[in-house]
Structure 1
């Protein structure tokens, strides 16, 4: 039986904001915000390092105290929305989704005491 997660959203946001950069590539930056539509959700914005000026927006929701569901919301290049189905975008998205899951695992002692 899955117990409800009893960590408040602002504590979760703070923990993610501190922890997530450790899992990203050097030079990448991330902003983590509460998802106003989901009390167990986060919005994650990642600016990719390099000369491409890509930024990624993800929705991250806790399914239970250990597992998160991550969905790509938007990809932009220099402020303009770009197609998400190119090989480069798919590869970067996959990397970021993996990093987000790794961060969730690292934070599991807090969400799954």
Structure 2
């Protein structure tokens, strides 16, 4: 039986690496913050603050399935600290773009996470 491809990088090291790398993947005016998921050592919490007049805060949960693959889940979208409906076309496009940036960051960090 093949050994499962487990993530061996520690959560604090991942948070640090993601906080260094993800901003380079983002559109320049947007801001992001990566934190540890306190409930799951294989997961990170990412908040992206979209720039411009919309100024959304979009929260994602990123879970390492193994050392190479991540699962990205939308958690919440807020504007002015109020939850908003994420099903609008503009938000769906933003969410799609941010998920792409998150996957690009995971690929860029692959040399760290893949044993």
> TM-score, length-normalised on structure 2?
0.95
Q: Which runs of 5+ in 1 are unaligned?
A: none
Superposition pairs for residues 92-103 of structure 1, below 5 Å? 92-103=94-105
| Cα distance in 1 for residues equivalent to 2:55 and 2:5 | 41
- C-alpha separation in 2, matches of 1:5 and 1:55: 29
Task: Quote the residue 2:55 is aligned against.
Answer: 53
Q: Take 1:91 and 1:108, find their aligned partners in 2: how far apart are those partners?
A: 26
In structure 1, the partner of 2:69 is 67
1:35 to 10, 25, 37: 37
What's the TM-score, normalizing by structure 1?
0.97
Taking the aligned partners of 1:100 and 1:66, their CA distance within structure 2 comes to 13
Displacement of 1:37 after TM fit? 1.2
Matched residues in 1 for 2:111 and 2:21: separation?
Answer: 13
Q: Give the paired residue count.
A: 113
What secondary structure does 2:18 align onto? helix
- Partner of 1:58: helix, strand, or coil? strand
Give, in angstroms, the shift of residue 42 of structure 1: 0.1
Once the 2 structures are TM-superposed, how far is the Cα of residue 97 of structure 1 from its aligned partner? 0.4
- In the alignment, structure 2 segments of 5+ residues that lack a partner are none
Matches of 2:89 and 2:5, distance apart in 1 = 39
Cα deviation 1:38-96 (Å, max 9, x = unaligned): 11100000000111111100000000000100000000112111001000010000000
4+ runs of 1 displaced by more than 2 Å? Answer: none
